[in-house]
């Protein structure tokens, strides 16, 4: 049963409503022109599927609860190959099942938006929130070597906005796009000012519509001749380079004069925000660097921000995954500390402030490039 309490007829652009994250993402997708939704129930994103089950038929658009996440992602592959704007959602174990099709979609250049409402793992794990799928999303997920844009909202309003952006990115670059949320964002309710956006449709010469008055088209990822497949890989790499050059997003808060920079995304960024307020109140000059694209990772911007600080603290709902990209971006020039919780636990602002104090003490007499502080 859906727990939605808000009839969609009252969801007007510009109105302020209290909305559950999963449902808000679903409605944002519908307003962004999502033509079809395929999914499978899994906690903590079942509400997204249930909202779609009710709303998509109202809009006259296909909804399918597939037999598994394998079925759902492959239905998405097929639908998107005909030019449809397609959404799939799941949570971590289901995302693992989708890795095969993601690789095929990256190789065949098929645009699909995939929401991962992350839960704690590994394995069946738990249903608490997590950020432990960072590696999975940003380092290729499936086999064969590819990247997909990864968008990380840290509020429900931002999640709705990024949904429209995700469809746009997917179609512009002919790529799957991840939206990486976590169980807290998915299941919490918060006030949102509704900002819906429907990205324009791009004309495309590759979609399958039936070979009526034109030569047949084939959407495929197989290129058996090594020379051909290498050329295809170089083409994909050029695409990834273009995305990396143009689509990096991040947000800074209170970075002016920040000697200690917290790097965090999603729910961790919200905890960091509270911690920064408390830290500044006790005289610790801390600021927040919040990546919004986890891939392409805002390495250059982070390096620049870190250069003006004494030290960097990475906060994640995991044992530490993004921290590796932070260290790569900073290249050892500043100490990088880490604070994280696993298993569905969320770091508290108090724990983060303690970590800031430790980092501050460790870098108190830093005058130049320092050796790394290990977490």
> Which spans of this chain sit near another protein (rule: CB under 8 A)?
35-36, 38, 62, 64, 66-68, 70-72, 74-82, 84, 86, 100-101, 104, 108, 208-213, 216-222
Closest CB to another protein among 51 and 104? 104
- Taking the complex as a whole, the smallest distance from the CB of residue 14 to another protein amounts, in Å, to 31
Length of the chain: 375
Grouping H, G, I as helix, E, B as strand and the rest as coil, residue 117 is strand
- Taking the complex as a whole, the smallest distance from the CB of residue 78 to another protein amounts, in Å, to 3
Any idea what DSSP says for residue 98? T
Closest CB to another protein among 111 and 287? 111
Q: How many CB atoms sit inside 10 A of residue 278's CB?
A: 15
Q: How many CB atoms sit inside 10 A of residue 357's CB?
A: 14
- Taking the complex as a whole, the smallest distance from the CB of residue 226 to another protein amounts, in Å, to 16
Grouping H, G, I as helix, E, B as strand and the rest as coil, residue 37 is strand
Quote the CA–CA distance of 33 and 135 in Å, as a whole number. 30
Quote the CA–CA distance of 292 and 306 in Å, as a whole number. 17
115 within 8 A of 181, measured Cβ to Cβ: yes
- Taking the complex as a whole, the smallest distance from the CB of residue 100 to another protein amounts, in Å, to 5
- Taking the complex as a whole, the smallest distance from the CB of residue 71 to another protein amounts, in Å, to 5
Closest CB to another protein among 29 and 75? 75
Tokens of 123: 């394995």
Torsion 230-231-237-239 (CA) sign = negative
């Amino acid at each position: 049963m859906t727990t939605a309490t808000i009839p969609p007829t009252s969801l007007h652009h510009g109105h302020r409503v209290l909305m559950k994250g999963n449902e808000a993402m679903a409605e944002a997708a519908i307003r962004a022109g999502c033509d079809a939704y395929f999914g499978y129930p899994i906690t903590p994103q079942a509400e997204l599927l249930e909202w779609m089950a009710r709303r998509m038929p109202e809009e006259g658009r296909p909804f399918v609860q597939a037999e598994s996440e394998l079925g759902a992602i492959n239905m998405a592959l097929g639908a998107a190959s005909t030019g449809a704007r397609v959404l799939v959602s799941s949570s971590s174990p289901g995302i693992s099942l989708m890795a095969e099709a993601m690789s095929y979609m990256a190789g065949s250049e098929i645009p699909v938006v995939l929401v991962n409402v992350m839960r704690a793992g590994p394995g069946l794990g738990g249903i608490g929130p997590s950020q432990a799928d960072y590696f999975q999303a940003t380092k290729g997920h499936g086999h064969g070597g590819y990247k997909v844009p990864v968008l990380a909202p840290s509020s429900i309003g931002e999640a709705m906005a990024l949904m429209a952006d995700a469809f746009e990115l997917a179609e512009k670059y002919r790529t799957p796009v991840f939206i990486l949320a976590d169980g807290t964002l998915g299941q919490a309710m918060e006030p949102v000012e509704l900002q819906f956006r429907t990205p324009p449709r791009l004309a495309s010469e590759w979609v399958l519509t039936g070979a009526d008055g034109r030569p047949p088209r084939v959407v495929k990822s197989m290129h058996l001749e090594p020379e051909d497949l290498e050329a295809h890989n170089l083409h994909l790499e050029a695409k990834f380079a273009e995305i990396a050059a143009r689509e990096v997003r991040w947000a800074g808060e209170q970075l002016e004069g920040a000697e200690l920079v917290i790097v965090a995304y999603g729910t961790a960024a919200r905890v960091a925000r509270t911690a920064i307020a408390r830290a500044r109140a006790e005289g610790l000059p801390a600021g927040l660097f919040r990546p919004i694209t986890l891939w392409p990772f805002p390495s250059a911007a982070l390096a620049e921000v870190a250069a003006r600080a004494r030290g960097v603290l990475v906060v994640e709902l995991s044992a530490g995954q993004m921290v590796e990209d932070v260290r790569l971006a900073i290249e050892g020039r500043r100490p990088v500390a880490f604070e994280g919780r696993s298993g569905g636990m969320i770091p508290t602002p108090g724990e983060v402030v303690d970590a800031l104090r430790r980092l501050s003490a460790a870098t108190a007499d830093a005058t130049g490039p320092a050796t790394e502080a290990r977490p």
